[in-house]
Structure 1
Amino acid sequence: MTTQASTVAERGHTLDTEGGGRIQLRHFAPVNPAHGTVVIGAAMGVPQAYYADFASWLSGQGWQVVTFDYRGSGASIPTTPHQGLRGFRANLFDWAHDYEAVVDWAAALEPGKPLYALGHSLGAQLPGMLRNGHKLHGLLGVAAGSGYWKQNAPQLRRRVPFMWYFLVPVTTRLFGYFPGKRLGAVGDLPNGVIRQWRKWCLHPHYSAGAEGGAVRQGYEQVRFPVLSLSIDDDEMMTEAGILSLMNLYANAPRRMLRVAPGDVGARRIGHLGAFRRDHVAGLWPRLEKHLRNLPQDVAV
């Protein structure tokens, strides 16, 4: 049970998004007046269900919280007419449109109060591509770097050439999608998503370099504060990769903070661990504090 019955109400919604997308979102609402609203943007291949415990806890601290699954992931994988992901059409621009629709939906919950994005990995990369990013009052990134393969952590960097030059091209041609679950790599992803992500990860300037033009300008137009937490024991993202992503937000107030497991009384955090319930007493209160103080924490 992820909800806190005395302080949080949890409801699911279906949202139609640009280009024929249909996604599932969850809304965690505090009973008492809220400080503002937080949209949690998921990492690549991570379903919104993974964030449910944290979202419920955060709502219990007095926030409206919204999680969602990009089209073709988690609860937003269609069962008909494509029978799952085989042949399902979606790319990362479509996922940015899904993110935009959720931001629009969330902005109506607490008009006049702050609306923040809390982005985990990919979830902190896509806000630079949102056409309605002006509705956000800030971005808190967790374990979010550029993804360029030469800036990956050493243990990952040794493996990614095989993935990008063999595994992805071969399996997507065979299956019509990327069967990451059975391969133990990232998760199941639509063909268009994994192929576009491959292009980003092979470019030194990631999404802005691979796509150029409007994407680069989108990042440069961001003015909301960006605070990024670099996790010391992240097995995927290095400090260089996180700084590289932050530099895409060239005109935004921005700051990076390093977080070691020992700083929050933990033995390990890693790339995916920040939202596990064993961090409820250490890391989670720190994340909530950063949300409350986001503009000030970036300006310090």
Structure 2
Amino acid sequence: MANFYSTDVTVICVDQFAIASTIYTPKKSLKGAILIGPATGIKRQFYASFAAFLAEKGYGIITFDNRGIGGSLTGSVSESDASLQSWGEKDMPAVLEHLKITFPNTNYHLIGHSAGGQLVGLMHNAKDFTSIFNFASSSGQLKNMPLPYAIKAHFFMNLFIPLSNTFFGHTKSQWLGMGEPLPKRVAQQWRAWCNSEGYVKASFGKTVHTHLYDELTTPSMWVNAVDDDIAINENVEDMLSVFTKIAAEKLTLSADDYALDEIGHMKFFSRQSQALWIHALNWLGKY
């Protein structure tokens, strides 16, 4: 019998947009509360096994779908005006506030996957996090990626996204096995940021006028995998360069060390990768 229960909830953002979320509530005494920030185009159900594991250990959890994705898509994806920036400035802050109301008077942690860790500096309430644990969060800078993967990445970003947006009004990323269909502005911003140094830094002073990237001093752990062609060490460093004051530790995992076939960019959160989850648990235990 599970030592937690889960409930689907709706989080209302500052602009009244409704975000589909799931709360995991432990039945034992609360150790802390965690926001799981999803990767670009990945639905919250992807993190269910990982969230259940942490809830079993006594942590309150919230998972969510960013606007334009999964349960947070209203109408046609081609009509969505979501952007990466709106995910960081509106969706994530609202989800954190809901987490704080649901589990008051405890420590709050971010566990970010790719974009879920990259966007934290756009959250006006990011200083409420006691700690940050990110997996595969990097700038995704195309010019640093190794061959032959760089060819695939350039094709997706610089050919597939513009063509798909032109012909369909959104990016059919699902055709390439890359999560849910992406709203046009999400894909456009993703492309622009991955073609630049420092990811979101490309929009500073343009569309991003207030942020906390140069203020956060939060203890953080940045985990990547040897077999991830996106969040390579150079791109992790490039992302960290935007967080000018953050206290960062780094850890690179190898699938061979855990008798796993792969970790890559996605498999850390897979049920088959439970051997890796001790790293998150140990980190949370320190904060």
Answer whether TM exceeds 0.5 for this pair.
yes
User: Structure 1 residue 9 and structure 2 residue 10: aligned?
Assistant: no
User: Structure 1 residue 26 and structure 2 residue 22: aligned?
Assistant: yes
Residues 203 and 209, structure 1, Cα contact 8 Å, conserved in 2 = yes
SS of match in other structure, 1:9 = strand
Residues 45 and 189, structure 1, Cα contact 8 Å, conserved in 2 = yes
SS of match in other structure, 2:134 = strand
- The aligned residue for residue 71 of structure 2 is 75
- The aligned residue for residue 260 of structure 1 is 254
State the AA in 2 paired with 1:150: K
Equivalent-residue separation in structure 2 for 1:236 and 1:276 (angstroms) = 18
Query: Structure 2 vs 1, CA of residues 157 and 93 (structure 1 numbering), >3 Å: closer, same or farther?
Result: same
Equivalent-residue separation in structure 1 for 2:2 and 2:176 (angstroms) = 41
- The aligned residue for residue 154 of structure 1 is 147
How far off is 1:243 after superposition? 1.4
User: Structure 1 residue 168 and structure 2 residue 148: aligned?
Assistant: no
Instruction: State which drifts further: 11-20 or 271-280.
Output: 11-20
1:83-117 CA-to-partner distances (Å, cap 9, x unmatched) read x3022111112111100001111122333321000
| Structure 1 alignment gaps of length 5 or more | 295-300
Equivalent-residue separation in structure 2 for 1:161 and 1:279 (angstroms) = 29
| Percentage of pairs with the same residue | 25
Query: Structure 2 vs 1, CA of residues 247 and 215 (structure 1 numbering), >3 Å: closer, same or farther?
Result: farther
Equivalent-residue separation in structure 1 for 2:92 and 2:10 (angstroms) = 13
- The aligned residue for residue 224 of structure 2 is 230
Query: So what's the TM-score if we normalise by structure 1?
Result: 0.89
Instruction: State which drifts further: 192-201 or 260-269.
Output: 260-269
Query: Structure 2 vs 1, CA of residues 77 and 89 (structure 1 numbering), >3 Å: closer, same or farther?
Result: same
SS of match in other structure, 2:77 = coil
How far off is 1:160 after superposition? 2.4
User: Structure 1 residue 275 and structure 2 residue 266: aligned?
Assistant: no
Among 95, 98, 110, the alignment partner of 2:103 is 110
Residues 41 and 178, structure 2, Cα contact 8 Å, conserved in 1 = no
State the AA in 2 paired with 1:236: I
Equivalent-residue separation in structure 2 for 1:6 and 1:132 (angstroms) = 32
SS of match in other structure, 1:38 = strand
Query: Structure 2 vs 1, CA of residues 204 and 13 (structure 1 numbering), >3 Å: closer, same or farther?
Result: same
Equivalent-residue separation in structure 1 for 2:239 and 2:209 (angstroms) = 13
User: Structure 1 residue 58 and structure 2 residue 54: aligned?
Assistant: yes
SS of match in other structure, 1:287 = helix
Residues 129 and 215, structure 1, Cα contact 8 Å, conserved in 2 = no
Equivalent-residue separation in structure 1 for 2:54 and 2:209 (angstroms) = 32
State the AA in 1 paired with 2:202: G
How far off is 1:27 after superposition? 0.5
Query: Structure 2 vs 1, CA of residues 273 and 183 (structure 1 numbering), >3 Å: closer, same or farther?
Result: closer
Residues 153 and 237, structure 1, Cα contact 8 Å, conserved in 2 = no
State the AA in 2 paired with 1:30: P
How far off is 1:183 after superposition? 3.9
Equivalent-residue separation in structure 2 for 1:240 and 1:59 (angstroms) = 33
Instruction: State which drifts further: 164-173 or 267-276.
Output: 164-173
State the AA in 1 paired with 2:64: F
- The aligned residue for residue 119 of structure 2 is 126
Residues 208 and 216, structure 1, Cα contact 8 Å, conserved in 2 = no
How far off is 1:216 after superposition? 7.9
Question: What count of residue pairs does the alignment treat as equivalent?
Answer: 285
Residues 207 and 215, structure 1, Cα contact 8 Å, conserved in 2 = no
Among 201, 204, 208, the alignment partner of 1:208 is 201
- The aligned residue for residue 94 of structure 1 is 86
Equivalent-residue separation in structure 1 for 2:210 and 2:80 (angstroms) = 27
- The aligned residue for residue 134 of structure 2 is 141
Query: So what's the TM-score if we normalise by structure 2?
Result: 0.93
How far off is 1:286 after superposition? 2.3
Equivalent-residue separation in structure 1 for 2:6 and 2:282 (angstroms) = 23
